[in-house]
């Protein structure tokens, strides 16, 4: 462990503060579960209710299927996979917008490593994501539709997706200290971004021009297609397709880090 | 190598006309200037060895808290370098990161996690926090049920559970009741003996003398004194006294109303005193006692023929009584030298009701249409206490005798007629 800690950037403070990261990430859930009989079950029930709602609505009521598929559950699975992953992505960004304001008290504490804050966001949203995914996976197992080893392909996609999310989040969160407009605009842009990503609709219904645009300019498109391929076709994503994404994620995180570093002293005085 | 080494740090606070200006300047690293600057620290250098404890004193706004924040690492200096070799803990803002819904225990755990301790080390420390804070069964109750004192006790216990290499304490933070204050001071003292470097900001000379082996004075962002606590504190005391004296002359005591002083200063009032009849300075008199209002005057121009006066006003500004040497036919025509002094005593019998009164003192030029040489409005305040059972009401005990006799007095008929007329 020690060898790893000294080599990976930021690993040392993150490892040392792991207990804090976990307790801060689960803080909201712990507060919600206080004085409630079902406590920790509620997030699970929430996830189950949402997934069951989609299933009933699209499988039983609307009888929606993906074009070219004769599986009655295909569209519902398509939608759930998209929404679960998108929610993780967009909530990570949204929760980062007030990362400094919300944690002003911690930032005034001596020796507190600031790098833990974005990690807390990733972990806390990750817990929500894991609950949703777990409930959904249970349903897939129950209906005999769980994909095989291709599931492991989700891991690199998630890493790329969340690196992009947290880099954007920290970048916008830093700017948001100076301009509250950034936070407001981010909400609107994410709504548009959602509809420019194949989550609710399949790519095949788009005209070739629009499809090309969405694939070229929206990094989330390929990532979503990757998740869909895993869930519906049990196809491992071709990682070579994601080289550009990896570069984007690295560049964005570098930009976010430099911007944060340059502006932090002003942020401190502002808090 | 010193544990802390601060070299020539400066800190400005800026105000910006808009957030856009703030952003432009931050992103260009200050190459584009858009700020209005206020200097807080103007080049401070300070080194401290392990185990040294330094008292920091100075008026409000001298830059003490900014300096502490920089030592704590929660504020960055604009220029200069800070090097710190050890873990710093601060008692500036207690209860950082506490959540009211969590119990004392849960908050204590979070507080330990915030120190970056290994998870295995935490449980015994939490027990230690419980013991030191003496919260007993309240320790497992939500913090929202705590009194302020209890929350402070928990916060102090939690933030000092591990001895830091450097401890920064703002004494303004008095923790809980007297018993707990002693207990927390004892803990700070023990840390010091164990080698913790202490920074203590305090206005209390005894705290600094007993806890520190060095003291510095900050004034207006500059460190004006650095040395042994007793010497530095004496110097500070002199600063405070001088400032107090200035204020006494410049300000109406109590009300904070600014005093106006005018005159061409060819003669100047050097001091004003109110004395009792034994010659001791006094500010409180009983109705009917005599007060001596003494002005000491310095001559800057020997040709002047001065007229020295006083004016007593009540707290509402009503003129109660005024007089001067001219009206009283006292001639001051000695051969003065430049710099020679004389004093004029006004012995006034205070035939006054209870209340506070202020005295305006003046020396004017007798020859030149009474032009002001020196005039100090509301220069000094004294108080008149009524007798415990006063025999009058109002502003002044007018000389009054009352006689009583039964039956109508001669001429009463006329009075009665007048009263009857009014009633009609």
- In this complex, do A178 and B23 lie within 8 Å of one another by their Cβ atoms? yes
Q: What is the DSSP letter of A59?
A: I
If one compares B176 and B353, the residue with the highest pLDDT of the two is B353
Alpha helix segments (H runs only) across chain A:
2-7, 11-16, 18-25, 27-33, 41-55, 74-96, 99-102, 104-107, 116-142, 154-178, 181-195, 208-217, 219-233, 243-270
Over pLDDT 70: what percentage of chain B? 88
Considering the four listed CATH numbers 2.60.40.1120, 3.20.20.70, 2.70.50.60, 1.10.4160.10, the one that applies to the domain covering B261-385 is 2.70.50.60
Per residue in B213-242, pLDDT tens? 899 988 888 888 888 888 888 888 777 776
pLDDT of residue B369: 62
- Provide ipTM, 2 decimals: 0.76
Under CATH, which number does the domain B4-241 receive?
A: 3.40.50.300
The whole-angstrom distance between A102's CA and the closest CA on chain B is 11
To test the contact with chain B by mutation, choose from A111, A112, A177 the residue with the greatest count of B C-beta atoms within 10 A, namely A111
In whole angstroms, how large is the CA radius of gyration of chain A?
Answer: 20
Per residue in B332-367, pLDDT tens? 888 888 888 999 999 999 998 888 888 989 998 877
Touching check for B19 and chain A: CB below 8 Å?
Answer: yes
The whole-angstrom distance between B106's CA and the closest CA on chain A is 10
Mean pLDDT of B114-119: 84
Question: Does pLDDT of B419 surpass 70?
Answer: no
The lowest-confidence range among A185-194, B103-112, B198-207, B269-278 is B198-207
Of B76, B90, B96, the CB nearest to A268: B76
Instruction: Name the closest residue on chain A to residue B100, using Cα atoms.
Output: A31
Q: Where exactly are the structural domains of chain B?
A: 4-241, 261-385
Touching check for B10 and chain A: CB below 8 Å?
Answer: no
Of A17, A18, A262, the CB nearest to B26: A262
pLDDT of residue A200: 92
Instruction: Using an 8 Å CB-CB cutoff, list chain A residues near B117.
Output: 19
Query: A-side interface with B, Cβ within 8 Å?
Result: 13, 16-20, 23-24, 27, 30-31, 34, 105-113, 175, 178-179, 259, 262-266, 268-270
Instruction: Name the closest residue on chain B to residue A269, using Cα atoms.
Output: B75
Residues 98-117 of B with CB under 8 A from A: 99, 101-102, 109-110, 113-114, 116-117
Is the CB of residue B355 less than 8 Å from the CB of residue B318?
no
To test the contact with chain B by mutation, choose from A12, A102, A109, A269 the residue with the greatest count of B C-beta atoms within 10 A, namely A109
The whole-angstrom distance between A114's CA and the closest CA on chain B is 11
Question: Does pLDDT of B251 surpass 50?
Answer: no
Of B89, B101, B113, the CB nearest to A31: B101
Instruction: Please give the C-alpha separations between residue A217 and each of A85, A89, A164, in angstroms, as whole numbers.
Output: 19, 17, 14
Tokens 């400094």 sit at which residue?
Answer: A100
pLDDT band with cut points at 50, 70 and 90 for residue B21: confident
Per residue in B273-318, pLDDT tens? 888 888 888 788 888 889 999 999 999 888 888 999 999 988 777 8
Is the CB of residue B113 less than 8 Å from the CB of residue A19?
yes
Q: What is the C-alpha separation between B350 and B292, in angstroms, rounded? A: 10
- In this complex, do A23 and B110 lie within 8 Å of one another by their Cβ atoms? yes
Is the CB of residue B380 less than 8 Å from the CB of residue B359?
yes
> What average pLDDT does chain B have?
82
Instruction: Name the closest residue on chain B to residue A23, using Cα atoms.
Output: B110
Token pair for residue B5?
């080494």
């Amino acid at each position: 462990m020690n060898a790893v800690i000294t080599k990976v950037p930021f690993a040392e403070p993150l490892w040392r503060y792991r207990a804090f990261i976990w307790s801060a990430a689960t803080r909201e859930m712990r507060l919600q579960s206080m004085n409630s009989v079902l406590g920790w079950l509620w997030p699970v029930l929430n996830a189950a209710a949402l997934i069951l709602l989609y299933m009933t609505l699209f499988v039983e009521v609307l009888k929606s299927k993906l074009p070219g598929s004769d599986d009655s559950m295909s569209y519902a699975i398509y939608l759930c996979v998209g929404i679960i992953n998108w929610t993780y992505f967009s909530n990570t960004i949204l929760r980062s917008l007030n990362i400094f304001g919300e944690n002003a008290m911690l930032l005034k504490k001596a020796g507190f490593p600031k790098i833990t804050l974005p990690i807390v966001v990733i972990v806390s949203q990750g817990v929500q994501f894991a609950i949703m995914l777990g409930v959904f996976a249970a349903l897939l197992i129950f209906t005999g539709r769980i994909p095989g080893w291709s599931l492991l392909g989700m891991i690199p996609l998630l890493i790329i997706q969340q690196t992009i999310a947290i880099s954007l989040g920290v970048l916008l969160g830093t700017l948001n200290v100076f301009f509250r407009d950034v936070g407001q605009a981010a909400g609107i842009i994410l709504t548009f971004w959602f509809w420019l990503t194949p989550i609710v609709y399949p790519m095949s219904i788009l005209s070739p021009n629009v499809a090309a645009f969405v694939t070229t300019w929206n990094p989330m498109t390929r990532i979503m297609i990757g998740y869909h391929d895993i869930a519906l076709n049990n196809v491992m994503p071709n990682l070579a397709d994601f080289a550009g994404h990896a570069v984007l994620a690295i560049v964005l995180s570098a930009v976010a880090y430099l911007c944060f570093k340059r502006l932090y002293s002003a942020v401190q005085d502002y808090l | 190598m010193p544990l802390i080494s601060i070299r020539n740090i400066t800190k400005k606070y800026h105000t910006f006309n808009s957030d856009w200006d703030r952003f432009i300047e931050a992103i260009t690293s200050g190459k584009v200037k858009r700020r209005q600057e206020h200097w807080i620290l103007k080049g401070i250098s300070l080194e401290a060895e392990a185990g040294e404890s330094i008292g920091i004193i100075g008026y409000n706004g001298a830059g003490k808290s900014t300096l502490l924040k920089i030592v704590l690492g929660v504020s960055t200096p604009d220029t200069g370098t800070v090097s710190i070799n050890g873990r710093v803990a601060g008692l500036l803002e207690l209860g950082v990161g506490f959540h009211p819904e969590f119990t004392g225990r849960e908050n204590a755990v979070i507080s330990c996690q915030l120190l970056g301790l290994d998870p295995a080390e935490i449980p015994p420390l939490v027990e230690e926090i419980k013991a030191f804070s003496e919260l007993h069964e309240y320790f497992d109750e939500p913090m929202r049920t705590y009194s302020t004192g209890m929350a402070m006790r928990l916060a102090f216990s939690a933030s000092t559970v591990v001895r830091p290499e450097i401890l920064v304490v703002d004494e303004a933070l008095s923790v809980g009741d007297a018993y707990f204050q002693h207990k927390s001071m004892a803990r700070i003292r023990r840390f010091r003996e164990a080698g913790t470097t202490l920074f203590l900001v305090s206005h209390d000379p005894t705290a600094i003398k007993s806890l520190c082996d060095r003291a510095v004075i900050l004034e207006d962002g500059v460190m004006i004194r650095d040395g042994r606590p007793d010497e530095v504190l004496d110097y500070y005391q002199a600063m405070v006294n001088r400032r107090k004296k200035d204020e006494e002359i410049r300000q109406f005591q109590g009300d904070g109303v600014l005093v106006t002083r005018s005159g061409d200063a060819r003669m100047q009032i050097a001091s004003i005193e109110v004395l009792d009849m034994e010659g001791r300075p006094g500010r409180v008199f009983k109705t009917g006692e005599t007060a001596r209002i003494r002005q000491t005057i310095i001559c800057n121009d020997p040709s002047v023929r001065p007229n020295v006066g006083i004016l007593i006003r009540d707290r509402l500004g009503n003129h109660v009584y005024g007089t001067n040497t001219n009206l009283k036919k006292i001639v001051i025509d000695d051969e003065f030298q430049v710099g020679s002094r004389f004093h004029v005593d006004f012995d006034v019998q205070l035939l006054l009701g209870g209340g506070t009164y202020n005295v305006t003192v003046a020396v004017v030029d007798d020859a030149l249409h009474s032009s002001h040489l020196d005039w100090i409005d509301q220069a000094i305040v004294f108080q008149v206490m009524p007798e415990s059972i006063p025999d009058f009401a109002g502003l002044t005990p007018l000389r009054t005798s009352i006689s009583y006799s039964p039956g109508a007095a001669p001429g009463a008929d006329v009075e009665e007629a007048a009263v009857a007329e009014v009633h009609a």
